C-alpha cells in the first residue's frame, strides 16, 4: 500500500484547536495515513519571532496530537536549525523515498495567498500536493480568482483522484475554529481564559510553565498567516 502523509507546519506559538481542525479535515478528506505537525525553527516570513522556546512549542504540539488518531508531532525542522523553509522540509521527505504525489502539504488560505513569496517558488509547487484549507472569513475557492495564474492547477479536495501522480493544489472547505495563536497569546497576557481555544493538555502546560503571561500586547500584531499557522 502506498503511504500518503500530510504535513502541517507552523510556529505553533501556541498550537490551537484551529490547527487540529485543519489537520483532521485534510486527513479525512484525502484518506491520509498520517499527518505530521511540524513546529518551525525560525519562520522566515514573520517579523516577530516565536515567543515560546522550541522546546515548549514542540512539547505543546506533542501534547495536542497525543489523543488524536493519525496525528503526530515532528521535530525535524527544530533539529535542522536555521530558517524553516517548506522546500527544504519537502526535500527531506523525498530523500526518505516519498514521491511528491504522496506528500500533502497542508496550509491555510491566508498563508497560501502569499505563495509567490515562498522560497523556490514556483518549483516548490512540484514538490508535493498542496492542500489549502479554508478559514473563517477565507473561502478556499476564492483563490481561483485571487491567484488566477495557478487556477488550472486547483482541484477540489473532495473529488481528488488518489491515483493522480501530478502535484495539484487541492482546495478544501472545512469548518475550523475561529482562533489564532496571536489571540491566544493576547488572552494569556491579559489573564483571560483560553479553555476551548487550545487543547486542555496544552493549556495545562502553558500555565504550569507560565508561558506568555508576561508578554506585552505587541505580540498580538502578527501577520495574517498566523491565523492558521506561521507558515514559511
The answer to whether residues 10 and 40 touch, using CB atoms and an 8 Å cutoff, is yes
Distance CA 155, CA 7 (A): 19
CB atoms within 10 A of CB 171: 24
Is 201 domain-assigned?
yes
CB atoms within 10 A of CB 170: 26
Give the pLDDT score at 2.
Answer: 67
Q: What are the pLDDT digits (tens) for 93-134? A: 999 999 999 999 999 999 999 999 999 999 999 999 999 999
Give the pLDDT score at 162.
Answer: 82
Give the pLDDT score at 164.
Answer: 81
| SS3 (DSSP) at 123 | helix
Give the domain range for residue 191. Answer: 5-227
C-alpha cell at 146: 485571487
Distance CA 87, CA 145 (A): 25
Give the pLDDT score at 29.
Answer: 96
pTM of the entire predicted model = 0.90
Read out DSSP for 154-165? EEEGGG--TT--
N residues, the chain: 232
Distance CA 138, CA 14 (A): 21
Give the pLDDT score at 153.
Answer: 96
Is 69 domain-assigned?
yes
Q: Where are the alpha helices (DSSP H) in the chain?
A: 17-30, 54-65, 76-80, 86-95, 109-112, 143-146, 181-189, 200-208
Residues with pLDDT less than 50, the chain: 216-232
Burial (CB count <10 Å: 0-12, 13-18, 19+), residue 209: middle
Q: How many domains does the chain have?
A: 1
Is 217 domain-assigned?
yes
Residue 181: which of 55, 12, 4 has the closest Cα?
A: 12
CATH number, domain containing residue 165: 3.40.50.620
The β-bridge partners of 5 are 34, 103
Is 232 domain-assigned?
no
Give the pLDDT score at 42.
Answer: 86
Amino acid at each position: 500500500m502506498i503511504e500518503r502523509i500530510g504535513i502541517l507546519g507552523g510556529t505553533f506559538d501556541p498550537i490551537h484547536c484551529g490547527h487540529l481542525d485543519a489537520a483532521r479535515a485534510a486527513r479525512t478528506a484525502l484518506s491520509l495515513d498520517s499527518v505530521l505537525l511540524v513546529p518551525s525553527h525560525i519562520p522566515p516570513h514573520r517579523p516577530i519571532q516565536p515567543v515560546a522556546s522550541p522546546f515548549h512549542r514542540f512539547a505543546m504540539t506533542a501534547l495536542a496530537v497525543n489523543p488524536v488518531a493519525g496525528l503526530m508531532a515532528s521535530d525535524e525542522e527544530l533539529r535542522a536549525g536555521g530558517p524553516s523553509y517548506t522546500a527544504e522540509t519537502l526535500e527531506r521527505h523525498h530523500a526518505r523515498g516519498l514521491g511528491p504525489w504522496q506528500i500533502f502539504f497542508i496550509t491555510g488560505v491566508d498563508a497560501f495567498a502569499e505563495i509567490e513569496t515562498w522560497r523556490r517558488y514556483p518549483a516548490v509547487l512540484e514538490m508535493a500536493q498542496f492542500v489549502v484549507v479554508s478559514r473563517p472569513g477565507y473561502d478556499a475557492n476564492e483563490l481561483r480568482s485571487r491567484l488566477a495564474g495557478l487556477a488550472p492547477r486547483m482541484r477540489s479536495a473532495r473529488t481528488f483522484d488518489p491515483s493522480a501522480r501530478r502535484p495539484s493544489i487541492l482546495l478544501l472547505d472545512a469548518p475550523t475554529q475561529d482562533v489564532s495563536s496571536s489571540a491566544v497569546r493576547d488572552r494569556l497576557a491579559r489573564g483571560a481564559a483560553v479553555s476551548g481555544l487550545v487543547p486542555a493538555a496544552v493549556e495545562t502546560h502553558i500555565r504550569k510553565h507560565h508561558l506568555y503571561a508576561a508578554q506585552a500586547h505587541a505580540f498580538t500584531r502578527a501577520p495574517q498567516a498566523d491565523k492558521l499557522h506561521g507558515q514559511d
